[in-house]
Each structure stands twice: as C-alpha cells, then as structure tokens.
Amino acid sequence: MATAPETRTSLFGKVRMGYALVESEKHQDWLRFTRDALGLDVHREDDTLICRLDNHARRLLICQGPQEDMLALGYELADQASLDTVLQRLRDKGVAVEAGDACGAALRGVEQYWRCRGPKALAIEFYVTPLLSDKPLSMLASGYVTGEAGMGHVAITSRRPEAVQAFWQEILDARHSDDIEQRIGGLMLDIRFLRLNPRHHSVAIACTRGRRMDPIRTRIQHMNVQCATLEDMTAAFQRCRRLGYRIMMGVGQHTNDRELSFYVQSPSGFEIEYGWDPIAVDESSWQPTLHQGISTWGHQPLDHNLMDELRQITRAARSLLRSEYIPFEPGH
C-alpha cells in the first residue's frame, strides 16, 4: 500500500525574535545610550544592564566582557512542539545543540533555552516561555510594538548569504519577503528580506555583488526596534543627536516595508534602527518584488565620514582572507 507523502509542519508564524544579548566593556555608555538616548526601561543587576520594552522581564541585555558585539539572539517558539521541531531539524543537519543552564536562563529572562552556533558564529537560541513582569515601565517612549511579530529585526552582512538564508528558511520556515539592490560607492549591495511572522522581516541579509566582501566588524550590522508612535521616533532621534550619538542615517522611509526610521551607532559599533509603522505582510496577496535602493526619501548619512569609509573598505578587503562560519551547507 502506498504511504502518504510526509508533510512538513511549517513553523511560519510560530517564531518571533524575543531577546538580544550584547557583550561590552562600555557599560556606562550603554546605560546612557539605552536609557537616555533610546529611552528604554533600563536597570542594572550585578554586571548586566537589563532593558525592557514591554511586559517581558528582559529584552535587550548588555553583559560585561571584551567583545564589543552581539553575542546571541533569542527566538521565541509558540509551543513545545515547535521547539522540538527546531531542535530536531538542527540535529538532522548535524548542528550541535546544547541546553542552557539555569543561570543563563535567568540572565535571558526565560524559563529554559537551547542554543546553537548560528551564521557568523552568532549564538542562536530558542525558548518557549519568557518571564513576564507587571512592574510599570519607566521609559521615554510611549511604547514598542512587539507581540506576535517579536521585538524587531536584525540585518547581517555576509559572504555566504545563501547559507545564512538557508539557516532561517530550513530551520525556521522563514519566507522570502522581497529584495533591494542598493549602490554604495562603487559596490552593488543585494539585500534579501525574510519574515517569520506578520512582521515584514525579522532578518535581512546583505552581500556585495560579484566579489563577496564583508565590510562590517560586528556579527550584525543593525538591530531594529519598532516604537509605537511617530512622536516616539522623532523624540528619540532628537535625544540621540543631543547626547552626541552618531546618527549613521537620519530619518527616512524604506522602500519595501515603508518603515520610517533612523540609524544610530551603539557603543559597541553595530547600529540600532529606531523605527515606526512598517507594513505587516498579508499572506493572501503578498508577492516578493525587487526594490531599487533602500529608501524612498531621507536616510542621509549625518555623522558618517571619510574615516568610516576607509575603515569599511579595509575591513571588506581583509574579509577576503577569513572564512565565515556557517552552521551547515544549504540544502544539506
């Protein structure tokens, strides 16, 4: 008797970005940046800065340590079955998965978590149950949009974009939202946008066309948070400017998700995109398209200078000498 073909249960809509873990030596600067410039709810516990945006006890964590970089991203799964599926898929691909300990779970504000080494050696972590807090938020913005779409998105530059894409597609059933081609200096950049839920994208992957180079030192190029109102965004922009943080791109609007945002450099070097009102994807009618350029207007570099350009060119050239870590080859 013929057996029915095995159907794969999709995780689309059951995954959202839940927390981000940064390591830095610049705690005073991170405190000022997150609390006074971005306007998040921030408190210090031992050697860790804990930032809240909503009813989750912990969303952005800055730990003491020598790497000025994003160490880990936590993805929240809708239920235990979804988590089991993710862990099984990773094991099937030969990716080592380890259970986090109680101390790590407390740090991240989750009941339990599992972790693997993801693209660019960024730890990718998975959990089901976040710890919530009913303590009133003390922050300068009126609120942040999280919920089923998660806390925002990250953008990653890569020399192995197919493998980075495969990680989110083959493990988490990410869907292709659209693409942007953007000319920067003499280089053409291809950016692919992937979604895990109604948020237009949870991950963006950028690569140089032709000879692939990576001009970015940190594992992520930027992390986005979505504030509730236009006034929240413009007030954050003014605070960042007033406090002297470098605005890498001023206020503008993106071509694909229509989000209004600005980009500010964090104390660890990667950028925070502070945005408002991106579109949500309607699965019944969405078609991926190719957009020319990242912005319909604005997003002008305000504090970007020749030294930044030179540094990026040097890093891009040096990246040719290094290999980039990928957890598995696409399709395997």
Minimum Å gap between C-beta 263 and Fe ion is 8
Give the three-state DSSP class for 201. coil
Nearest residue to 153 via CA among 17, 296, 330: 17
84 with 78: CB under 8 angstroms?
Answer: no
Stretch that binds Fe ion, among 34-42, 129-137, 217-225, 315-323 (CB under 5 A): 217-225
Minimum Å gap between C-beta 290 and Fe ion is 17
E strand or H helix at 165: helix 161-166
Distance CA 134, CA 115 (A): 28
Minimum Å gap between C-beta 224 and Fe ion is 4
Give the three-state DSSP class for 329. coil
67 or 255: CB nearest Fe ion: 255
50 or 149: CB nearest Fe ion: 149
Give the x/- contact pattern for Fe ion in 126-165, rule: CB under 5 A: ----------------------------------------
Minimum Å gap between C-beta 205 and Fe ion is 12
17 or 116: CB nearest Fe ion: 17
Stretch that binds Fe ion, among 216-224, 263-271, 295-303, 319-327 (CB under 5 A): 216-224
Q: How many CB atoms lie within 10 A of CB 146?
A: 20
273 binds Fe ion per the rule CB under 5 A: yes
173 or 273: CB nearest Fe ion: 273
Beta strands in the chain (DSSP E): 15-24, 41-45, 48-52, 60-64, 69-77, 98-99, 114-117, 123-127, 153-157, 175-184, 187-195, 203-208, 222-227, 247-254, 260-265, 271-276, 290-292, 295-298
253 binds Fe ion per the rule CB under 5 A: no
34 or 253: CB nearest Fe ion: 253
Minimum Å gap between C-beta 199 and Fe ion is 11
Which residue among 224, 226, 266, 312 contacts Fe ion (CB under 5 A)? 224
113 or 263: CB nearest Fe ion: 263
37 or 203: CB nearest Fe ion: 203
Length of the chain: 332
| Burial readout 167-186 (b: 16 or more C-beta within 10 A, e: otherwise) | bbbbbbbbbebbbbebeeee
256 binds Fe ion per the rule CB under 5 A: no
224 or 312: CB nearest Fe ion: 224
Minimum Å gap between C-beta 292 and Fe ion is 17
Distance CA 68, CA 73 (A): 15
93 or 246: CB nearest Fe ion: 246
Minimum Å gap between C-beta 172 and Fe ion is 18
Stretch that binds Fe ion, among 120-128, 171-179, 245-253, 269-277 (CB under 5 A): 269-277
The upper half-sphere exposure of residue 140, i.e. CA atoms within 13 Å in the direction of its Cβ, equals 20
Distance CA 112, CA 84 (A): 13
In the block, tokens 């949500």 appear at 280
- Burial class from Cβ neighbours inside 10 Å (0-12, 13-18, 19+) for residue 72 reads buried
Total of residues contacting Fe ion (CB under 5 A): 2
Residues that bind Fe ion (CB under 5 A): 224, 273
